[in-house]
């Protein structure tokens, strides 16, 4: 009986595995064309400055407009691309697309905007990524301080020396550096001393119930104070309610990002929303 159950469980497991594997292989094959066919698109999510309620930065979040499966979120293809190594080319495309957008905005009402792009540890491993960023900024005539790079704490755990070297070069160019998903990694705090960090983004998991859970409130306050004492600015991720906003304002968080202000939206929608003055605390944008 136990054996039978075990076998059923096993069969169920392998069938699920097979379906996932089929989908994985299919998507993996489709990724080949995606770059050539320009199927990727950047969505932008604004960050609201709590000091003066202005928006001076947006995070670029990649989407894949798949010819048959529709608009795919990063979770459906970024891990796959990291396994196959295609992430390198995708990352280069993201940097290029961000610079292209910044160039477009330069002589427009949106010339104040900075774009933050996400780079995985795998992408930072690539020795030539720093040159690529510098060359792409230059060829688009975009000042380096318009670009921000978001990295997660994984880069402080492996290849530390290499990563420090890469980030120091980027920082010297004038590119801003942000630590994404701060507080959920396994790295030590020492790197905040050793690496040129401009911004900390407190992970959404602390913000979600910051007004209901004393422990998350304590952690969030401590992170804000720690960062400020080190001369680092703080962004709260995943802000969805007024209560969260008020808490963060009371505790001098610098910037907020989340559905309360806007979902990630395409560039033209962002421009419309900014132009109409909609990106404030009264009107959540995006569906």
Residues making contact with Mg ion (CB under 5 A) = 118, 150, 180-181, 237
> Of the two residues 205 and 280, which places its CB atom closer to Mg ion in the complex?
205
Closest-CA residue to 261 (of 54, 98, 68): 54
Map tokens 């094959």 to a residue.
29
Q: Please give the Cα distance from 176 to 142 (Å, whole number).
A: 14
Beta bridge partners of residue 148, listed in sequence order: 116, 176
Contact range with ligand C2E by CB under 6 A, out of 12-20, 136-144, 167-175, 234-242:
234-242
Contact between 74 and 262 (Cβ < 8 Å): no
Q: Residues in the chain, how many?
A: 287
> Least distance from C-beta 82 to Mg ion, angstroms?
14
> Least distance from C-beta 13 to ligand C2E, angstroms?
27
Residue 62 makes contact with ligand C2E by CB under 6 A: yes
Contact range with ligand C2E by CB under 6 A, out of 106-114, 156-164, 258-266, 274-282:
258-266
Residue 118 makes contact with ligand C2E by CB under 6 A: yes
User: At a CB cut-off of 8 Å and minimum separation 6, what does 155 contact?
Assistant: 121, 124, 163, 167
Contact between 260 and 239 (Cβ < 8 Å): yes
> Of the two residues 202 and 232, which places its CB atom closer to ligand C2E in the complex?
202
Q: DSSP code of 185? A: S
Residue 202 makes contact with ligand C2E by CB under 6 A: no
The angle formed by the CA atoms of residues 17, 18 and 22, to the nearest 5 degrees, is 120
> Least distance from C-beta 240 to ligand C2E, angstroms?
5
Residue 94 makes contact with ligand C2E by CB under 6 A: yes
> Of the two residues 30 and 210, which places its CB atom closer to Mg ion in the complex?
210
Return the residue of 258, 265, 267, 270 that touches ligand C2E, per CB under 6 A. 258
> Of the two residues 30 and 57, which places its CB atom closer to Mg ion in the complex?
57
Closest-CA residue to 184 (of 213, 212, 161, 156): 156
> Of the two residues 86 and 110, which places its CB atom closer to ligand C2E in the complex?
86
């Amino acid at each position: 009986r136990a054996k039978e159950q075990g076998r059923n469980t096993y069969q169920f497991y392998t069938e699920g595995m097979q379906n996932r594997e089929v989908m994985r292989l299919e998507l993996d094959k489709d990724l080949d064309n995606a770059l050539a066919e320009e199927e990727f698109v950047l969505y932008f999510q604004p960050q609201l400055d709590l000091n003066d309620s202005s928006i001076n930065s947006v995070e670029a979040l990649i989407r894949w407009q798949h010819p048959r499966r529709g608009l795919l979120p990063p979770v459906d293809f970024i891990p796959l691309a990291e396994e196959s190594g295609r992430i390198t080319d995708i990352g280069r495309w993201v940097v290029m697309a961000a610079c292209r957008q910044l160039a477009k905005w330069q002589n427009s009402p949106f010339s104040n905007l900075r774009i933050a792009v996400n780079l995985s540890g795998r992408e930072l491993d690539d020795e030539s990524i720093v040159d690529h960023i510098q060359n792409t900024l230059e060829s688009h005539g975009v000042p380096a301080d318009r670009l921000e790079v978001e990295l997660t704490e994984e880069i402080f755990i492996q290849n530390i020396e290499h990563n420090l070297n890469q980030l120091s070069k980027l920082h010297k160019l004038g590119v801003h550096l942000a630590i994404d998903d701060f507080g959920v990694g396994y790295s030590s705090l020492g790197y905040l001393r050793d690496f040129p960090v401009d911004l900390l983004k407190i992970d959404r998991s602390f913000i979600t119930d910051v007004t209901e859970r004393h422990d998350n409130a304590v952690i969030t306050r401590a992170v804000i104070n720690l960062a400020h004492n080190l001369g680092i600015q703080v962004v709260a991720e995943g802000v969805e309610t007024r209560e969260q906003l008020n808490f963060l304002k009371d505790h001098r968080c610098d910037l907020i990002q989340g559905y309360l202000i806007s979902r990630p939206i395409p560039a033209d929608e962002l421009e419309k929303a900014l132009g109409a003055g909609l990106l404030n605390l009264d009107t959540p944008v995006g569906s």
